């Protein structure tokens, strides 16, 4: 388990991180979210010892040692492949930096290229690949040595939905093998799809920390999805309804000012008759992100 305690980092007059503490358990995926400049990359760089910081970062109860870095897979936001190398040369070279022998890595390359649907042969040069395929090669480099701690900085950036799904499956597979995984993403759909836990930073401070359900439940079940013949104007007249959004056709999203008003809204809307859909839920992660980012620091 990765443990971060009271992490603080200042660049001149800029406080990049202020008293950030959270855990990344083995066999779980933690999403680290926040707006640009919130401290996500600074957190990753602190874990990797790229910069000096105040606080404590421990791996399985001990400070991260040089030997531990061989068990870490890191995908930086800025890609760092060598364009003149072939796919095979690139993968072998970076795997050897993790003390993985070439004779162990080479036989695995074809299977990894197939797993990520890389369009190209292992003899092709990196510079001749599309940006998406270059990114997939870097993902292979990050994962091929079966790391126990995986850090992914915006791994879905630039990937279409099909390739994003390939990455999700690879992340879930690594989780099932027991890896502790932490990644950042601006796509809350990806975060909600794969994460067990969530940490949100805002201007260097941690404002949310917990399981996905715990985080969503903090905001109460203030949203109601309905499919009905009622018009938007009629729905706005329902008790405690503060917002009505027509999603598509006869499907609407209602926001209520009191989650306990759900039964009353249901009774008024149905009047004892069948209704195709009535689902009361907490806000989505995307909506929570917008709410928290829009708040001033407390």
The pLDDT value recorded for residue 298 is: 42
In terms of residue numbers, what domain contains 33? 2-217
What is the pLDDT, as a whole number, of residue 79? 76
Say how far apart CA 30 and CA 40 lie, in whole Å.
12
Whether residue 54 lies inside any domain: the answer is: yes
Same domain, 188 and 262: no
Query: Looking at residue 156, what is its pLDDT?
Result: 85
Whether residue 212 sits in one domain with residue 255:
no
242 and 156: one domain? no
Whether residues 106 and 43 fall in one domain:
yes
In this predicted structure, what is the pLDDT of residue 295? 61
Question: Residue 99's domain is classified under what CATH number?
Answer: 3.40.50.300
Instruction: Kindly give the parts of the chain with pLDDT less than 50.
Output: 296-298
β-pair type (241-248, 251-256)? antiparallel
How many domains is the chain built from? 2
pLDDT at 132: 85
Instruction: Give a yes or no: residue 298 inside a domain.
Output: no
154-187 residue pLDDT tens: 888 878 888 889 989 999 999 999 999 999 988 8
Contacts of 183 (CB under 8 A, 6+ apart): 29, 30, 31, 32, 150, 151, 152, 153, 154, 155, 171
Biggest alpha carbon–alpha carbon distance for the chain: 71
Beta strand ranges found along 97-256 (DSSP E): 149-153, 180-184, 197-202, 205-211, 223-227, 241-248, 251-256
């Amino acid at each position: 388990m990765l443990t971060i305690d009271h992490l603080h980092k200042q660049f001149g007059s800029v406080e990049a991180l202020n008293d950030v503490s959270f855990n990344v358990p083995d066999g779980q995926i933690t999403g680290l979210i926040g707006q640009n400049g919130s401290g996500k990359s600074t957190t990753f760089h602190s874990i990797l010892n790229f910069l000096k910081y105040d606080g404590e970062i421990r791996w399985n109860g001990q400070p991260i040692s040089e030997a531990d870095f061989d068990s870490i897979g890191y995908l930086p936001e800025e890609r760092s492949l060598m364009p003149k190398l072939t796919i095979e040369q690139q993968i072998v070279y970076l795997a050897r930096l993790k003390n993985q022998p070439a004779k162990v890595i080479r036989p695995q390359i074809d299977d990894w290229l197939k797993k990520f649907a890389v369009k190209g042969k292992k003899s092709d040069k990196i510079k001749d690949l599309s940006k998406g395929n270059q990114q997939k090669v870097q993902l292979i480099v990050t994962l091929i040595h079966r790391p126990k701690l995986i850090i992914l900085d915006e791994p879905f950036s630039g990937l279409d939905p099909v390739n994003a799904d390939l990455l999700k499956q690879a992340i879930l597979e690594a989780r099932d093998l027991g890896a502790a995984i932490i990644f950042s993403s601006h796509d809350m759909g990806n975060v909600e799809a794969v994460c067990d836990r969530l940490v949100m930073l805002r201007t260097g401070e941690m404002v949310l920390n917990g399981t996905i359900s715990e985080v969503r439940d903090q905001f109460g079940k203030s949203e109601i999805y309905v499919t009905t013949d009622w018009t938007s104007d009629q729905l706005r007249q329902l008790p405690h309804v503060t917002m009505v959004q027509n999603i598509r056709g006869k499907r609407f999203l209602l926001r209520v000012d009191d989650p306990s008003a759900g039964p009353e809204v249901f009774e008024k809307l149905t009047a004892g008759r069948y209704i195709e859909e009535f689902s009361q839920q907490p806000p989505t992660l995307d909506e929570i992100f917008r709410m928290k980012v829009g708040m001033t620091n407390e």
